[in-house]
Amino acid sequence: MRVMKARGIGILVALGAVGWSGVAHGLDGDDLKSPSGRVPDKWLTKAERTDFRETARYDETIEYCRRLAASSPWIEYRSFGRSGEGRELPLLIVSRRRTFTPEAAVSSHKVLVQNCIHAGECAGKDASLMLVRDIAITATQRDLLDHVVLLVIPIFNVDGHERFGAYSRVNQNGPAETGWRTTSRNYNLNRDFIKADAVETRAWLALWNRWRPDFHFDNHTTDGGDWQYDVIFDANTHATGTKSVTGWISEVLYSSLFASLRADGHTPAIYFNLVDRHDPSKGITSGGFGPRFATGYVSIRNRPSLLVEMHALKPYRTRVIGNYNIMRDTLALLNRDPDSLRSANQEADAETVKRGRSYDADAQLTVSVRRTDEETPFLFKGFAHRREASDISGTDRVIYDNTQPVEFETVWKKKTEPAKKVSPPLGYVIPPQWTEAIDLVRLHGLEASRLVEAASVDVQSYRFENVSWAKRSYEGRLMPKYETVTFTERRELAAGSVVVRLDQVDAKAAIHMLEPEAPDSLVRWGFFNTIFEQKEYGEMYVLEKLAREMLRENPSLREAFDAQVKSDEAFASNPWARLYFFYRRSPYWDRALNVYPVSRLTKPLTAKTEPLGG
């Protein structure tokens, strides 16, 4: 194929399948050989048997998994939970030493492979089954288990997988039929890792807490555009991660993967978006993932998670083989150099525990990042195109010529900086009535205790101001926006209140859940919405009397009242606002309104506690 070079003129990267007519983009069957070699017919996956035109249904996948386990002493099949519609959530455990429990596997790297969280994005499922087969049945990849125990979830969103049909993924080039993006309750599981509303997420958290994997794959297919890159990946290398782990990703993982994938015949790239969806010459961007996403969540548990995004417009065969190769190459790295990842993970855990043992108001933790304007020159690999006026959309339509790859100079905005920081306390105290939040503390595997008796304690608290609401629900929840004000007070903590100390390895999960400034905090997800609701009020004739009494007792109020009347026209013309000026300053006002019920401990708690249990 002819390669053209340009500076953004006549070049476009499509953010969709506009103009796609089934043409294979990128490597075809002759360019990229199957990594599996010769496989007996009975062990071919459905994708392989149909020349990658089809993917297996749920029952076919389960049957293949059970057959793998029955045929190899290295494989055990289990269910790790059930879906909303009652289907088993399948799990394959692959270990050459037959260490099928986390206790037995303590000396190996435990690697969790997660597929079909978006069930129509199924390349990872077929690639994982091929890889497990090649490890334990044909034994062509047996060395990948030298220092690794492999945990494979072939289908995570099993109910969505069985919403099966030809019209699930309009942007995707095959297979002929796939599953749906969301669960049977319409949850996007890849937005659910903190709030854990879905039963599937809760089962995943229990699996994670039991095994505590050392590395995580999250296999996807892009919803994005058309370019030459066929294997796209990302991991958290930003300030929300722990330095030792982000350093390992940047210095060890990325350098290894780019070299090995290119040697495999791929064109790899870090996951990116376009600054201008219609003009890649204006630049591309990368950024961090919050803990609502799998990749971001695993990062706050101090472990590397590799987001894999196969190119939606490449042939399905190319996508499956690319997904196979990136997993194989990463596992080869972990077996070749097991100590560097082990050291990075251990250092991250130790740093987290140490930070939780003392309180320093000046020691801040980044809970969200934003991109800076810093630009790095980048040679982009795209495709030629032409524009035509469209009488349907009313704008230009774009027609691509994917037989003409082009390279052009653009810029990459990949640097981030902290957007929100918090000073982590020694711990948090959740009042016993906030049971949803307490249940999530358990679900996320956090160590916690209960107050045996009520206690009067000096704490830090948050008050919320300028509260507003989203116009519609998002992932089933109505999310508030607010500003926070910190203050110190003495609180009466009820017996049974739950104490979450931060001198534990998973402290960052607690911080992201319980700090209101964190982008995926439980407050932002709507778990505390009733604290924003005023439930007592005053009648106008009563407030008139109250206001006059307050003015007689405190004449200085008149000056403040008159000043607001003069400066605020809306206030001056609103009788209720004028009366509530006094009501808010009276002893009758609800002092708990807009105040966060969760307390921050900045001094060691001396009150007696007992293990939370359950």
Over residues 114-128, mean pLDDT: 98
Instruction: Indicate the domain borders of the chain.
Output: 25-355, 423-534+593-611, 540-583
- Cα dihedral 50→55→57→59 (10° resolution): 70
**Is the alpha carbon torsion for 490, 495, 497, 500 positive or negative?**
positive
Query: Which residue's structure tokens are 């029952």?
Result: 59
Per this entry, what is the length of the chain?
A: 614
What percentage of the chain reaches a pLDDT higher than 70?
94
pLDDT of 424 > 60? The answer is yes
pLDDT of 334 > 50? The answer is yes
Least confident of 33-47, 66-80, 531-545: 33-47
Per-residue confidence (pLDDT) for residue 566, from 0 to 100: 97
CA 603 to chain centre: 32
Write the pLDDT tens digit of every residue in 288-298: 899 999 999 99
pLDDT of 16 > 90? The answer is no
- Identify the CA nearest to 162 among candidates 63, 49, 60: 60
Could you tell me the pLDDT band of residue 125, with boundaries at 50, 70 and 90? very high
For residue 59, give the H/E element and its range: helix 58-71
Beta-carbon contacts of 279 under 8 Å, excluding residues fewer than 6 positions away, are 8, 12
Question: 200: which 2 tokens?
Answer: 């599937």
Q: What DSSP state is assigned to residue 558?
A: H
Q: Name the average pLDDT for the chain.
A: 93
pLDDT of 202 > 60? The answer is yes
Could you tell me the pLDDT band of residue 431, with boundaries at 50, 70 and 90? very high
Question: 29: which 2 tokens?
Answer: 């069957």
Could you tell me the pLDDT band of residue 396, with boundaries at 50, 70 and 90? confident
Write the pLDDT tens digit of every residue in 474-509: 999 999 999 999 999 999 999 999 999 999 999 999
Over residues 319-337, mean pLDDT: 98
Write the pLDDT tens digit of every residue in 222-231: 987 789 999 9
What percentage of the chain reaches a pLDDT higher than 90?
88
Calpha distance 44→62 (Å, rounded): 14
Beta-carbon contacts of 272 under 8 Å, excluding residues fewer than 6 positions away, are 232, 284, 285, 286, 412
8 Å CB contact between 183 and 189: yes
8 Å CB contact between 428 and 514: yes
pLDDT of 9 > 70? The answer is no
Calpha distance 544→560 (Å, rounded): 17
Query: Which residue's structure tokens are 């979830």?
Result: 153
Instruction: For residue 144, count other CB atoms closer than 10 A to its CB.
Output: 24
Q: 110 vs 152, 215, 240, CA distance in Å?
A: 11, 7, 23
Calpha distance 480→522 (Å, rounded): 11
Per-residue confidence (pLDDT) for residue 34, from 0 to 100: 66
Per-residue confidence (pLDDT) for residue 267, from 0 to 100: 97
Per-residue confidence (pLDDT) for residue 33, from 0 to 100: 56
8 Å CB contact between 338 and 214: no
pLDDT of 252 > 90? The answer is yes
pLDDT of 232 > 60? The answer is yes
Q: Where are the alpha helices (DSSP H) in 367-421?
A: none
Q: Write down the architecture of domain 25-355 according to CATH.
A: 3-Layer(aba) Sandwich (3.40)
